[in-house]
């Protein structure tokens, strides 16, 4: 990953991480939602055909969980992993 002198990834690397993070989190959230029936074809059709505000609740919950998972995943990749790898001693043989 391209980084500046202080280990912070560049804009292109952050963009790639966000793109991959959104795709991975969509799979991580979407597949279980489909498997348990929370995000079924009928519920998605209800978003279009119903006329009350409650029709958006399943979709809003899905998008909120997707956003949370994506942001946590990207935060870990961009901030936590590089910080953790910098804290490791580079030469373990010296006292």
- Write the DSSP string, 42-95: HHHHHHHH--SGGGGHHHHHHHHHHHHHHHHHHHIIIIIHHHHHHHS-S-SS--
Task: List Cα–Cα distances, 80 to 3, 25, 39, 74, 83, in angstroms.
Answer: 15, 18, 32, 9, 5
Residue 71 has pLDDT above 70, yes or no: yes
What is the separation of C-alpha 19 from the centre of its chain, rounded to a whole number of angstroms? Answer: 9
pLDDT at residue 90, as a whole number = 56
Residue 4 has pLDDT above 60, yes or no: no
Q: At 55, list the tokens.
A: 């029709």
Residue 84 has pLDDT above 80, yes or no: no
Q: What is the pLDDT of residues 13-60, one digit of tens each?
A: 889 999 999 999 999 999 999 999 888 888 888 888 999 998 899 889
């Amino acid at each position: 990953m391209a980084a500046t002198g202080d280990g912070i990834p560049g804009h292109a690397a952050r963009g790639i991480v966000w793109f991959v993070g959104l795709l991975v989190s969509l799979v991580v959230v979407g597949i279980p939602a489909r498997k348990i029936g929370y995000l079924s074809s009928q519920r998605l059709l209800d978003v279009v055909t119903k006329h009350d505000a409650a029709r958006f609740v399943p979709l809003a919950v899905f998008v909120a969980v997707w956003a949370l998972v994506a942001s946590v995943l990207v935060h870990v990749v961009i901030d936590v992993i590089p910080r953790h790898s910098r804290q490791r001693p580079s030469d373990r043989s010296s006292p």
